[in-house]
Amino acid sequence: MNETKRPPQDEELLTPQGGGGGTGSTPMGLPPDSPRGIALPQVEPEGPGEGPSAATGGGEVGAPGMPAKKEASALRLLLTLALSGALVGALLVFVYLWSQPLILAYQAQVLAESIQEVLKGPDHYETVFVYEEGLTAELPPGVDSTALDRVYLGFDAQGHPVGFAVAGAEAGFQDVIRLIFGYDPATRQVLGMKVMDNKETPGLGDKIVKDSAFVGAFGGVEAPIVGVKVGRSTGAATEVDMITGATISSRAVIAIINHRIEALGALLEAYHQEHANGAGGGPGVEGRP
């Protein structure tokens, strides 16, 4: 907020709507070419110390300026900014405290539903943290879990593990694609895939969510997955047909899954074998319907 220390003449260089007003000031006509000419309507230099005479493209040209305070003192400027900043901050904290639980609750609900979907309806699941080169459902006390990578282990009604739900995110064509997939380390099969967040091109790239053949192909495919163009499939258990016209997005989805399995596969397998004898359903259980 350095404006407070600047002499008022510099005001002309400050008007932030200048960039936008440039087009607005000369409605329907091609704006003049020189940058000076474009900025002119807003960038009228003010007499030092005078109340600003604002003349934006709105049509109220030549109206008397702001309250005609002569050279407000630096202290007053600082006070105004500090006071408004404090008020604004307080208001935002209030709204934040109200909205945050709702947002987190929604995210948790979406996550739970997605886990149900990609693990084909497990009886319950538990969160397993990646901690110090291993997987553990129970962290030593005092460890902050928020920053830890995690997977979700689903169990059937008898308490046998059915597979892990693993979330992953990587850049797609336009923006980050976030997805979650089910993985059974015993058979090295992907159980299902659900894209949770994407900004891919509507009508093309967003078929990774809407194309049921593509999404369905991830049920039962073996890792590491190989993406093939439609019609070039050799029938191998590791192949998924990519979507025509959305090759980049399809390939991104496959890459996210492969990378995550590559990184965590061995850990998942070890943890799975440990718990395969039905020892699941320990204290970390959550998500039981």
Partner 1 sequence: MKHTTPQEDFLKGIWRENPVLVQLLGLCPTLAVTNSVANAIAMAAATFFVLVGSSFLVSLLKKFIPGEVRITTYILIIATFVTIVDMVLQALFPVIHKDLGAFIALIVVNCIILGRQEAFAAKHSVGRSVLDALGNGIGFTITLLLMGSFREVLGNGSFLGFRLFGDSFEPWVIMILPPGGFFTMGFILLGLGWWRGRKAERSEIRHWAHSLRAERKEGAA
Partner 2 sequence: MGELSWIFVSSMLVNNFTLALFLGLCPFLGVSGKVATAVRMGLANIFVMVITSLVASFLNAYVLVYAPFLRIISFIVVIASLVQIVEMVIKKFSPTLFRELGIFLPLITTNCAILGLAIFQTNREYNAMEGLIFALGGGLGLTLALVLMASIREQVALSDVPAIARNMGLVLVLAGTLSLAFMGFAGLFSS
The DSSP bridge partners found for residue 124 are 155
Binder to partner 2 among 150, 226, 247, 267 (CB under 8 A)? 247
Q: Kindly state the smallest distance separating residue 175's Cβ from partner 1, in Å.
A: 8
Total of residues contacting partner 2 (CB under 8 A): 39
Structure tokens at 97: 């405290």
Token pair recorded at residue 65 = 């300026």
Other Cβ atoms less than 10 A from the Cβ of 175: the count is: 12
Q: Please report, as a single letter, which amino acid is at residue 265.
A: G
Q: Which is nearer to partner 1, 161 or 172 (CB)?
A: 172
**Which CB atom, from 79 or from 230, has the smaller least distance to partner 1?**
79
Among the listed residues 226, 228, 248, 267, the single contact to partner 2 using CB under 8 A: 248
Binding mask 171-190 for partner 2 (x = CB under 8 A): x-xxxx--------------
Which residue, among 26, 32, 23, 3, has the nearest Cα to 15 in the 3D structure?
A: 3
Restricted to residues 110-149, the positions that interact with partner 1 (CB under 8 A) are: 110
Q: d(Cα 240, Cα 222) in Å, to the nearest integer? A: 10
Count of CB atoms within 10 A of residue 203's CB?
10
Cα 51–Cα 53–Cα 58 angle in degrees, nearest 5: 145
Stretch that binds partner 1, among 17-25, 157-165, 228-236, 268-276 (CB under 8 A): 17-25
The size of the chain, in residues, is 289
**Does residue 85 interact with partner 1 by CB under 8 A?**
yes
Specify the 3-state DSSP secondary structure of 196.
strand
Is 58 one of the binding residues for partner 2 (CB under 8 A)? no
Our finding on whether 15 is near partner 1 (CB under 8 A) is yes
Task: Determine if 90 is a binding residue for partner 2 (CB under 8 A).
Answer: no
Inter-residue contact 74 to 4 (CB < 8 Å): yes
The answer to whether residues 63 and 28 touch, using CB atoms and an 8 Å cutoff, is: no
Task: Mark 138-177 with x for binding to partner 2 (rule: CB under 8 A) and - for no binding.
Answer: ---------------------------------x-xxxx-
Residue 67 binding partner 1, by CB under 8 A = yes
What distance in Å separates the CA atoms of residue 118 and residue 13, rounded to the nearest whole number? 56
Residue with tokens 């932030």: 16
Least distance CB 256 / partner 2 (angstroms): 14
Among residue numbers 3 through 22, which ones bind partner 2 (CB under 8 A)? 3, 6, 10, 13-20, 22
Under 8 Å CB-to-CB from 111, ≥6 apart: which residues? 180
Q: Which is nearer to partner 2, 34 or 158 (CB)?
A: 34
Provide the binding-site residues for partner 2, judged by CB under 8 A: 1-3, 6, 10, 13-20, 22-23, 28-36, 38-39, 88-89, 92-93, 95-96, 171, 173-176, 247-248
